[in-house]
Amino acid sequence: MEKKPFATREKLEEIAKEYPTPFHLYDEKGIRENARALKEAFSWNPGFKEYFAVKATPNPFILKILQDMGCGTDCSSETELMLSKACGFTGHDIMFSSNDTPPEEFKMADELGAIINLDDFTHIACVEKVLDTFPETMSCRFNPGGLFRISNDIMDNPGDSKYGMTEEQLTEAFRILKDKGVKHFGIHAFLASNTVTNEYYPLLAKILFELAVRVKNAAGVHIAFINLSGGIGIPYRPDQEPNDIRVIGDGVRKVYEEVLVPAGMGDVAIFTELGRFMLGPYGALVTRAIHEKHTYKEYIGVDACAVNLMRPAMYGAYHHITVMGKENAPCDHKYDVTGSLCENNDKFAVDRMLPEIQMGDLLFIHDTGAHGFSMGYNYNGKLRSAELLLQEDGSVRMIRRAETPKDYFATFDFCGLLKDVE
């Protein structure tokens, strides 16, 4: 599949006149259409709800769009809870799926009325210490151990992951929580990340639905929801076949009817905590070529760097690049596209075949809408860029300003040094 930018070169140049590159640009129309498709795909389940994983794109304007589309938020830290609260998410619209949780954060989540999803058995005692009473609804995170396979492919290694409880622990946790007054229970698991196959969710659903039936019988509890969490991926590479959310929703429905309905559990709600799938394709990092360098390789230096998008440097992740205005030109030049950090892994692309790039060309780095800006950092004293929203009517709205040196030095505000930095 050809990857097409969601904005034209003319539009990007117009935006760049007001907001200098680099910047992250989000496509409101794409975000809304995709959220609608997800909702549609699970409309067979009356209790269905998507809790957007805030860490993927922690911007209040984005959260407001998703709220308007019927989504809640999935949080795992104090500031993510604060952000949700500020956006008007309350009560069961917030899922608190944290791990290694500071006890005060359980308290904060409880005060907001959020659903607390316990990562570990020992957290029951921790919650008991900080809360006066247990909430009526609680969830526990499951880890089946071993390797997680789809057909013969190893998708991930849950046995090596820090998250979740064993089945024995989860069953015992439900018994104890029930004694302490919890009435409605949820089960959560996240077994593989960025899956580009329609089989992941149905397979995970089967594991969790069968577990739910066993746990319901063993602990005598009401299972109110199953949380399939995140993990539905996106095709970062142009040759990857995208997931079909309708096929995925239908696959989960089949397993639901096979496992839960016959067990008298046809009232169980399905929850998701998608991040990447909700936002990934609907954001891009827009940057300009500012240097070319010809040594042992051909380099194009751009005005963005790994602090704006860490995935290529951190995971060697592929992000497709379109040279704006040259969409139909032959990709007959091999480049490393680099940022300016004093780190040799600061490369958005290595040995990438692209059209010939001239200084001043705009590069559209695709699929940065999730885990893009949010993984940013300040190494080398580099500053975070602005985030902009391309609205449905074609106008552009700034939804986060770019950092200034003053922001970078703000944590020295306890002393007089650097106070005059502008």
Ligand X SMILES: *Cc1c(COP(=O)(O)O)cnc(C)c1O
Q: Which stretches of the chain bind ligand X, using CB under 6 A?
A: 53, 55-56, 74, 97, 190, 193-194, 229-231, 273-277, 370
Residues near 243 by Cβ (< 8 Å), separated by ≥ 6?
195, 196, 197, 198, 232, 233, 234, 277
Which residue's CB is nearer to ligand X, number 119 or number 387? 119
Q: How far is the CB of 361 from ligand X (least distance, A)?
A: 31
Pick 135 or 280: Cβ nearer ligand X: 280
Q: How far is the CB of 194 from ligand X (least distance, A)?
A: 6
Shortest CA distance to 95 belongs to which of 224, 192, 208, 252? 224
**Cβ pair 256, 205 in contact under 8 A:** yes
Tokens encoding 413: 């505000």
Q: How far is the CB of 53 from ligand X (least distance, A)?
A: 3
User: Given the complex with ligand X, which of 188 and 384 has the nearer CB atom?
Assistant: 188
Closer residue to ligand X in complex, CB, 275/312: 275
Residue with the closest Cβ to ligand X? 230
For the chain, the 3-state helix, strand and coil shares in percent, each to the nearest 5, are 35, 25, 40
Report the nearest approach of ligand X to the CB of residue 100 (Å).
12
**For the chain, first and last CA: distance in Å?**
47
Q: Which is nearer to ligand X, 7 or 205 (CB)?
A: 205
Question: Do the beta carbons of residue 70 and residue 292 sit within 8 Å?
Answer: no
Query: Rounded distance, CA 37 to CA 113, Å?
Result: 28
- By beta-carbon proximity to ligand X, the closer residue of 156 and 361 is 156
Q: Which amino acid is at 318?
A: Y
Cis peptide before 5 (omega within 30 of 0): no
The CB-of-311 to ligand X minimum distance in angstroms stands at 12
Assigned token pair, 263? 């067990």
Structure-block tokens of residue 97 = 């799926």
Looking at the Cβ atoms of 173 and 324, the one nearer to ligand X is 173
User: How far is the CA of 90 from the CAs of 32, 83, 270, in angstroms?
Assistant: 22, 11, 19
- Minimum Å gap between C-beta 233 and ligand X is 7
User: Nearest distance from residue 176's CB to ligand X, in Å?
Assistant: 23
SS3 79: helix
Known catalytic residue: 342?
yes
CA–CA separation, 76 vs 94, rounded Å? 10
Q: Which of 305, 331, 342, 415 is catalytic?
A: 342
Q: Going by C-beta distance under 8 Å and a sequence separation of 6 or more, which residues neighbour residue 422?
A: 404, 405, 406
Give the separation between CA 377 and CA 35, rounded to whole angstroms.
29
CA–CA gap between residue 180 and residue 173 (Å, rounded):
11
Q: Which is nearer to ligand X, 87 or 362 (CB)?
A: 87
Which spans in 9-59 are helix H? 9-18, 28-41
Distance (Å, rounded) from C-alpha 246 to C-alpha 377?
36
User: Least distance from C-beta 70 to ligand X, angstroms?
Assistant: 18
Q: Which residues are catalytic, by number?
A: 342
